[in-house]
């Protein structure tokens, strides 16, 4: 069984460090109410509980779509830090840190996470969000259902949905874009360094390929490896 303690620690750290506080503003009350209702239906109640046959009821998509409809073009309150966010720009925070994390901590993940997957992927708008989602595939975090054994991913096999969480980073990140909210100097490059970071802790059965790698970038990466090896040899000599 996955460690509830480790998942709670991850969620707490993510709330505090991954996203900067939004600007002080007044959120839309109807949107906040709709999100609270949707969270209860999707995480606490039975709207997103699959049958024994692995069939997710239509109420799951309905609950999430109701949140989308209520919050489109609105601002909402992220209760972890009371920041106010624009739904069109940052619904991602709600899907990854409220819905997905909530179901993971409660051990409620099942076939209905296929529905949640679609909304989560659609919510990724920026390079930072793409990188954050890719980081969350880490086997140490063990939070995204489709990147676990239960969701079809292991040491030799990668669920297409888990692969999508990795690939979307490369899709949303242009070379030179900031990808880490905690480090403004971290820029997506043409050497594939960010993808290698994801690969380090990600499921072994998945592929980690950046389409942004250029011949020049690959050469610089190779030279960096040669330089590091040479320095190690000289240090021993």
Kindly write down the DSSP assignment for every residue of 163-226, as one continuous string: HHHHHHHHHHPPTT-B--TT-TT-B--TT-HHHHHHHHHS-TTS----TT--HHHHHHHHHHHH
Domain span including residue 88: 4-236
pLDDT of residue 233: 34
Question: Which DSSP letter does residue 136 get?
Answer: T
Is residue 22 predicted with pLDDT exceeding 70? no
Measured between alpha carbons, how far apart are the two ends of the chain, in Å?
48
pLDDT of residue 16: 40
Mean pLDDT of 108-112: 97
Nearest to 148 by CA among 104, 106, 115: 104
Tens-place pLDDT, residues 136-150: 999 888 899 999 999
Handedness of CA 31, 32, 37, 38 (dihedral sign): positive
Tens-place pLDDT, residues 73-104: 999 999 999 999 999 999 999 999 999 999 99
Strand blocks (E) in 33-191: 75-78, 83-86
Average confidence score pLDDT of the chain: 85
Distance CA 146, CA 168 (A): 15
pTM for this predicted structure: 0.81
Cβ–Cβ < 8 Å for 35, 71: yes
Handedness of CA 163, 165, 169, 171 (dihedral sign): positive
Question: Which of residues 219 and 75 earns the better pLDDT score?
Answer: 75
In percent, how much of the chain has pLDDT > 70?
80
- SS3 for 27? coil
Distance CA 27, CA 50 (A): 33
Mean pLDDT of 58-87: 97
Distance CA 213, CA 195 (A): 10
Q: What angle do CA 196, 164, 67 make, to 5 degrees?
A: 125
pLDDT of residue 220: 43
Cβ–Cβ < 8 Å for 100, 143: yes
Residue bearing tokens 């030279």: 223
Question: Which of residues 8 and 88 earns the better pLDDT score?
Answer: 88
Number of domains in the chain: 1
Place 158 in a pLDDT band, splitting at 50, 70 and 90.
very high
């Amino acid at each position: 069984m996955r460690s509830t303690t480790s998942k709670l620690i991850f969620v707490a750290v993510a709330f505090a460090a991954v996203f900067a506080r939004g600007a002080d503003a007044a959120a839309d009350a109807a949107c906040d109410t709709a999100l609270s209702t949707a969270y209860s239906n999707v995480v606490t109640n039975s709207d997103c509980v699959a049958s024994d046959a692995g069939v997710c009821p239509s109420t799951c998509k309905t609950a999430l779509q109701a949140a989308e409809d209520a919050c489109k073009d609105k601002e909402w309150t992220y209760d972890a830090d009371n920041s106010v966010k624009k739904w069109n720009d940052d619904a991602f925070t709600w899907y990854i840190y409220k819905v997905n994390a909530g179901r993971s901590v409660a051990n409620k993940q099942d076939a209905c996470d296929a529905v949640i997957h679609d909304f989560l992927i659609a919510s990724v708008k920026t390079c930072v969000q793409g990188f954050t989602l890719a980081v969350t595939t880490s086997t140490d975090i063990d939070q995204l259902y489709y990147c676990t054994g239960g969701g079809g991913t292991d040491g030799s096999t990668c669920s297409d949905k888990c692969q999508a969480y990795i690939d979307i980073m490369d899709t949303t990140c242009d070379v030179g874009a900031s990808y880490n909210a905690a480090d403004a100097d971290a820029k997506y490059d043409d050497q594939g360094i960010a993808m290698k970071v994801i690969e380090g802790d990600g499921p072994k059965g998945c592929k980690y390929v950046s389409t942004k790698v250029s011949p020049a970038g690959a050469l610089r990466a190779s030279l960096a490896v040669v330089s590091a090896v040479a320095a190690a040899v000289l240090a021993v000599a």
